[in-house]
Amino acid sequence: MACRVLGWAVPPPPRLTRRFLFIFTLSLSCTYLCYSLLFCCDSLMQSRGLGEHRCLLIQNVGGKKLLQKSPYCSLEGPAPSAASPGAPALSSAPAPAPRLATTNHSGTPKLGTKRLPQAIIVGVKKGGTRAVLEFIRVHPDVRAVGTEPHFFDRNYDRGLDWYRSLMPRTLESQITMEKTPSYFVTKEAPRRIFNMSRDTKLIVVVRNPVTRAISDYTQTLSKKPDIPTFEGLSFRNRSLGLVDMSWNAIRIGMYVVHLESWLQYFPLAQIHFVSGERLITDPAGEMGRVQDFLGIKRVITDKHFYFNKTKGFPCLKKTESSILPRCLGKSKGRTHVQIDPEVIDQLRDFYRPYNIKFYETVGQDFRWE
C-alpha cells in the first residue's frame, strides 16, 4: 500500500529465478533421456548375449528330458551349488553351440554343409542313370549334383576339396549323391572311390547290352552323322562273327568284366543293381528298392509317376514345388536306328555267356535272353 501511495513502480521478477527454472527443467529432461538410453542398451546386450548368455539345462522329469531356459549366467559358467533334497539333477555340461547357417551375397541363409557323396550312381551309360537320379532327387532326404562331375575318371588330380565344392549343401539327416556313368568302366575308379570312403554305396543301372549298344550308337550318330554303320563298328569280321570288343559301345555291355574290378574293393552288398527295363515298366518298384538300399523311407511311390506315351518311359507328376510335370530332356527317348535282325542275333549270342555269369555273380536274373 505504501508503494502505491507513494507512486513507486513494482520491480519485475529477477532474471536469476527464470534462469534457475530453465536449467532445472533442462536437467530433468537430460536425466530422463540418459536413463532411457542406458536401459535400452542394457536390454540389447542381454538379448544378443553380449557379456552374458542363457544356459540350457536338461532336466529329467518322469524319465523324459526337457530342455529349459535358465536365468542369465556368466560366461565362466554358474557357480556350483548344493542341490536341494528331492530336486531333480541338472546337467552341468554346457549345451553345444548351434551351427550357424552361412549366407550368400543376397543375404539368404545357406543351410547345411557340403559333404563328399555317400552314394554314387557309377553306371552304366545309356542304362537309365539320368532317370534314377531325377527320380531319387524327389526324396526330401536326398540331395544330388545335377551335372556329372567326372571326378574319379577325368578330374581326379583336382583333389577332394574341389570335388566337395561341387556338392550341394546337405543337413545331417540327408544323403549327398552324384552320378557319372563312365565310372563303371574306368579301371581306377573303384580304388579311388574306396580311398575316399570305403562305406560309399554304389548304384549301377544295367540294361540289355544289345539294346544299350544300339542306344549308345544312336546318341553318337545324332552328334556325328558321318560315323560308320552300327554293323561296321560292331564286328571285326561279321562273316566269322568276330565282335569288336574294343569298341566302347560293345565293351560297356560286358558288365561282369567291369564288375570284377569293383568287387576287389567293395562287397556285393554295397552295390545295388537297377534294372533299366523294370525302371520303365515299374518305376515305383525299382525306386522303392533303391530307397531301401540307401536306408531311407519309401517316399517315392506310384503316385509320383505317369507314363509318357510319346517318349515311351515314365515321367514325374507335377508336385507342390513344380508348376509342370517333370520329364527327361529331348535327348532321352530317341527312336533307335534300324538294325539288321541278324546283327542283333549275333550280338545276343556274343553277350549270352557274359550275361549268364553276371546273373550268377549278382544273384539276379535280368532276363535279357
215 is in an annotated binding site: yes
126 is catalytic: yes
25 is in an annotated binding site: no
128 is in an annotated binding site: yes
Exposure class string for 52-72: b at 16+ Cβ within 10 A, else e: eeebebeeeeeeeeeeeeeee
Catalytic residue (choose from 64, 114, 125, 126) = 126
Q: Which helix (H) or strand (E) holds 40?
A: helix 15-48
Please give the Cα distance from 133 to 178 (Å, whole number): 8
102 is in an annotated binding site: no
How many residues does this entry show for the chain?
Answer: 369
114 is in an annotated binding site: no
Chain centroid to Cα 33, Å, comes to 53
Please give the Cα distance from 292 to 75 (Å, whole number): 46
179 is in an annotated binding site: no
Give the residue from 218, 197, 245, 270 showing the smallest Cα distance to 351: 245
Please give the Cα distance from 144 to 130 (Å, whole number): 12
130 is in an annotated binding site: yes
Q: What are the counts of helices (DSSP H) followed by strands (DSSP E) for the chain?
A: 12, 15
Q: Distance of CA 283 to CAs 104, 202, 295, 302, Å?
A: 37, 19, 18, 8
Cα atoms found within 13 Å of the Cα of residue 367, Cβ hemisphere only: 4
301 is in an annotated binding site: no
| Percent helix, percent strand, percent coil in the chain, to nearest 5 | 40, 20, 40
Assess contact for 351 and 338: CB atoms under 8 A: no
Please give the Cα distance from 24 to 344 (Å, whole number): 107
Q: Distance of CA 346 to CAs 100, 211, 238, 352, 360, Å?
A: 61, 13, 9, 10, 22
Peptide bond into 132 cis (omega under 30): no
336 is in an annotated binding site: yes
Residue matched to cell numbers 511311390:
301
312 is in an annotated binding site: no
The phi and psi torsions of 144 (rounded to 5 degrees) equal -135, 155
Which are the catalytic amino acids?
126
Q: Provide the annotated binding site.
A: 126-130, 207, 215, 332-336
Q: Provide the annotated binding site for 3'-phosphoadenylyl sulfate.
A: 126-130, 207, 215, 332-336
